Amino acid sequence: MTDALKAEAFWEQHYRARRGGGTGHPNPVLTETAETLPPGDALDLGCGVGGDTIWLARQGWQVTAVDISTAAVERVRARSRQLGIDDRVTGEQHDLARSFPHRQFDLISAQYLHTPFTLDRARVLRTAAHALRTGGHLLIVDHGSTAPWSWNKAPDAHYPSPGETAAELALDPDRWSVVRADTPHRRATGPGGRTATVTDNVLLIHRHDRRS
C-alpha cells in the first residue's frame, strides 16, 4: 500500500469510528478571527467532523470543506443538509499532498493540520496563501503541546512555532504580512469529558499585494 493510500485509510478509519451525528464546537481562534471579518468565501482545510465549517456557514460564509477522509466530508454535507445550510457548504475530498481546490478565498483555515504520514506542510500552506484573494487571510493554528487523548503521543514530537512556520512559507512581504503570531493557552475537552490545558501555535497571514 502506498503512503497516500495508508494516509487515506488511517483518516477514513479515524472518522468512521467517531460516534454521533454532530459536528462538535468550532475552534475558538477561528471564531475569534472570523468575527472580525465580513463573510465571504472560506476554505476549511482538514475539515474533520465539520465544527468550523458549520459555524462559518451559519455566520453567512460560503464554505468549501476539504478532508482526505470521505467519511468526514459526507458527515459535513449531511449535517449542513440537516441544518438547511447546504446551499452555503461544498464538501470535497482532497489528499492535500496531491490536490488542492482551484478557487480563490477570503479566509482559509488550517486548524491542526498534523498527520503521522509524510506531508509537505509548507508547500500546502504556501499553496493556500496563493489561493487567497487580495485582502484575504490565512489562519494556521497548530498544536503547541500534546493533549492526553491525542493520536500522537510521541514524547519527542516537535510542533513548529508560529515563527518557524512563517519562515518555512517564505512568503513575499510585499504581498503577504503576518498580523498575528502567538502561543495562547486554552482548556480543551477530549473524549469522555477529559480536560487538559493545551498550547496553540497561532499564525495569521494577510494578503495585501502592495506590489505595483
Q: What pLDDT, in 10s, does the model give residues 128-179?
A: 999 999 999 999 999 888 776 665 656 667 788 999 999 999 999 999 999 9
Query: What pLDDT score was predicted for residue 56?
Result: 98
Task: Tell me how far apart the alpha carbons of residues 116 and 11 are, in angstroms, rounded to a whole number.
Answer: 10
Task: Tell me how far apart the alpha carbons of residues 82 and 182 are, in angstroms, rounded to a whole number.
Answer: 37
pLDDT digits (tens, 9 = 90+) for 5-56: 888 788 888 888 766 555 678 999 999 999 999 999 999 999 999 999 999 9
Task: Tell me how far apart the alpha carbons of residues 69 and 54 are, in angstroms, rounded to a whole number.
Answer: 17
Query: What pLDDT score was predicted for residue 6?
Result: 83
Task: Tell me how far apart the alpha carbons of residues 6 and 119 are, in angstroms, rounded to a whole number.
Answer: 12
Structural domains of the chain, ranges and CATH numbers in brackets: 3-207 (3.40.50.150)
Q: What 3-state class would DSSP assign to 54?
A: helix
Query: What pLDDT score was predicted for residue 58?
Result: 97
Other beta carbons less than 10 A from residue 193's beta carbon? 6
Task: Tell me how far apart the alpha carbons of residues 202 and 205 are, in angstroms, rounded to a whole number.
Answer: 10
| Nearest residue to 95 (alpha-carbon basis) of 75, 122, 117 | 117
Q: Are 203 and 180 in contact (CB under 8 A)?
A: yes
pLDDT digits (tens, 9 = 90+) for 77-87: 999 999 999 99
Q: Are 177 and 171 in contact (CB under 8 A)?
A: no
Query: What pLDDT score was predicted for residue 179?
Result: 97
Q: Are 93 and 68 in contact (CB under 8 A)?
A: yes
pTM of the model: 0.89
Alpha helices in the chain (DSSP H): 3-16, 28-34, 51-58, 70-83, 121-130, 162-169
| One-letter identity of residue 85 | I
List phi, psi (to 5°) of 58. -70, -20
- Residue 212, pLDDT above cutoff 50: no
Query: What pLDDT score was predicted for residue 12?
Result: 87
Q: What 3-state class would DSSP assign to 5?
A: helix
Task: Tell me how far apart the alpha carbons of residues 139 and 87 are, in angstroms, rounded to a whole number.
Answer: 24
- As a whole number, mean pLDDT of residues 101-127 equals 92
